[in-house]
């Protein structure tokens, strides 16, 4: 009986490893071990995020099918499409392009929410998420340039806001 259980566990483990390899391994032309690990990490992040967002969309639409036309649900659907496109790009061996293509929409979302949707300006703190993400996949020089670019963009948006006391959310 123990032999049967051990063989079954070994088969399940082997099938799981094959599945993870099939889903996470980058294109064969990537031979640098560090780039392989980055590509596998990005694939795992993209698959995980895609599955979680699909689950959330399904739960929201199950509760109220009319929410399909809500901007937040449509935005989530667009993010799923972007994630799938970036997963394919990553699997083809273009990890930097996929990471950048995943990074830019998050910056756009976390800038849109406080400046244009009328939500709490505390959402600007969530800009740290894409910065951490870019720090994982890019050099410190590029991370610094991205951080300075985001700060400059936020500064420009703040400069062009109506600063009258009635309209000043900050």
pLDDT tens string 135-155:
888 889 988 998 999 889 888
Spacing of C-alpha 162 from chain mean position: 32
User: Tens of pLDDT along 92-117?
Assistant: 989 989 999 988 888 888 887 777 76
pLDDT in tens, 77-94: 988 999 999 999 999 989
Chain centroid, CA 76 distance in Å: 11
Q: Which positions ≥6 away from 83 have C-beta within 8 Å?
A: 46, 49, 50, 53, 102
Q: Each residue of 32-89: pLDDT tens digit?
A: 888 889 899 999 999 999 999 999 999 999 999 888 888 778 888 988 999 999 999 9
Q: What is the pTM of this model?
A: 0.76
Is the Cα dihedral 16, 22, 28, 31 positive or negative?
Answer: negative
Residue 25: alpha-carbon gap to chain centroid: 18
Q: How high is the pLDDT of residue 165?
A: 62
């Amino acid at each position: 009986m123990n032999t049967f259980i051990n063989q079954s566990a070994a088969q399940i483990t082997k099938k799981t490893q094959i599945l993870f390899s099939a889903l996470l391994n980058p294109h064969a032309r990537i031979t640098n071990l560090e780039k392989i690990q980055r590509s596998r990490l990005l694939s795992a992040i993209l698959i995980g995020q895609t599955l979680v967002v699909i689950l959330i969309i399904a739960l929201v639409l199950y509760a109220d099918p009319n929410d399909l036309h809500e901007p937040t649900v449509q935005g989530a659907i667009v993010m799923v499409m972007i994630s799938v496109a970036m997963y394919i790009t990553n699997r083809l061996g273009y990890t930097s392009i996929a990471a950048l293509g995943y990074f830019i929409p998050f910056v756009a979302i976390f800038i849109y929410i406080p400046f244009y949707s009328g939500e709490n300006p505390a959402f600007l703190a969530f800009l740290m998420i894409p910065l951490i993400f870019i720090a994982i996949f890019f050099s410190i020089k590029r991370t610094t340039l991205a951080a300075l670019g985001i700060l400059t963009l936020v500064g420009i948006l703040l400069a062009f806001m109506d600063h009258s006391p009635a309209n000043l959310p900050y």
